[in-house]
Structure 1
Amino acid sequence: MAIYERIGKSYDLTRRADPDIAARLVVHLQIKSDSSYLDVGCGTGNYTLALAKNGGIWHGIDQSKKMIDVAKNKINIVAWQVAEAEALPYADRTFLGVLCTLTIHHFVALTPIFQEIYRVLAAGRFVLFTATPEQMSKYWLVEYFPEAIHKSAEQMPTLEKVRYALNDVGFNSVNIEAYSISENLQDLFLYSGKHRPEIYLDENVRSGISTFALLASADEIAAGCQRLAADINTGRITEIVNKYENNQGDYLFVIADKVAT
């Protein structure tokens, strides 16, 4: 995840916890004030802190020292640690809930990490927020940055693979909730500009999104932004956005339960 070592300092310019997503995560995790929770791949800790304000004893891990350094400079209500998801530095059954937002596309293999999460989780929930390749193929961004979106979608495990890996390590039930981008989304991740195409013309926004910062060539970004700006000016962008409309959601919450044995 070397990309996040490079963008760690500027990441929070455009990336912050969206209140609606955070509220859904609170509900799915069923947070209790006296229980412990873990955010795996916490980045600069935006969602960790948003959820910690709703109660619980929180820990956040990320493999990027730069990201954790930024997190440590925020409100000190979370125990931050640089660590690998494949080797979590916690005892068995430490947490009542584990969170993972917009991170699993960076995992080399799902099963070893899900196994570790299952190990440190007592009877409770593992909640993922992610997108599938099928969902990404319906982003209108494909029209302007086809190679980058294709590469990004290739990194994403399919829902079938996620389900299989969760079941394989022992999670008893897996539920799915679709999420569609709202017009006032505050966390500017990949498809955050679904209803606000102009944000992709801002280099600061693109630099906080790994698809643009890591996967897109400078030539593709330049050509795509030129076409996008032209379509925004002529109003053709509305036609493009409508063409990619779908009812499958843009992202997913995946809620996996571990039942007491």
Structure 2
Amino acid sequence: MDAAFKALADPTRRLLLDRLREQSGQTLRELCERLAMTRQSATQHLDLLVRANLVTVVRRGRERLHYLNPAPIHEIEQRWISEFDRPRLQVISAVKHLAEERAMSVPSVPTYVYVTYVRASAAQVWEALTSADLTARFWGHANVSDWRQGSRWEHVRTDGSGVADVVGRVLAAEPPTRLVITFDDGDDPSVVTFLVEPHQDIVRLTVTHENLADAEALGAVSHGWPAVLANLKSLLETGEVLPQQPWEMAPAKA
């Protein structure tokens, strides 16, 4: 949180966040053009925002696309605001929702990006994502597959019914660092990529969810992924999931 507050204290960095709020997924060149700023200056400010986890960089070929990441502000809200049952600040909601709407309008880039840090090894995170027993604990469904490229995977209810609420295909599996799956097995499914990047005793877990059908689907994953990943983080760091299922909380309204 110290890094987030430090990053937000500078008006130029806040301006960069405003520009990404208006249109997320911009290249460095696009940001420089809109701000009349030199590449060197913009790079320095963006690097600090990336270190503060307020901006996420996704590589597409030779380009580096910059996205707003709501996770640090969400953690601030959880620590100092939600305890008192107050709605999110309007500016936080605007940054998050407008960024997602802009990202959704560009089909060639991810429509939703979320980053979190977990005190665990890459192997532990990979097991959590692919183990039927562990996913049943933190996700409320068991993810069942052999996790080989081309294989089917199922998101199976834990009530013993055997019903799979979501099915898809494994597009890529590179344990323990990268897993790409489709959500749904139809003609035009959405695609989820889990990127696991270890650094000493922690892991940076980036989830991108692209090719979403519409704004309603975007809203659903924007509410769902932070909740699921918070439960995963709690399980790996404490051995226990959160005391209540976080996705059952109604989304905060501005």
TM bucket (normalised to shorter chain) is: under 0.3
Q: Which has the higher strand share?
A: 2
When normalised by structure 1's length, the TM-score is: 0.26
**Normalised TM-score (structure 2):** 0.26
Flag the structure with more relative contact order, 1 or 2, with Cα contacts below 8 A and sequence separation at least 6. Answer: 1
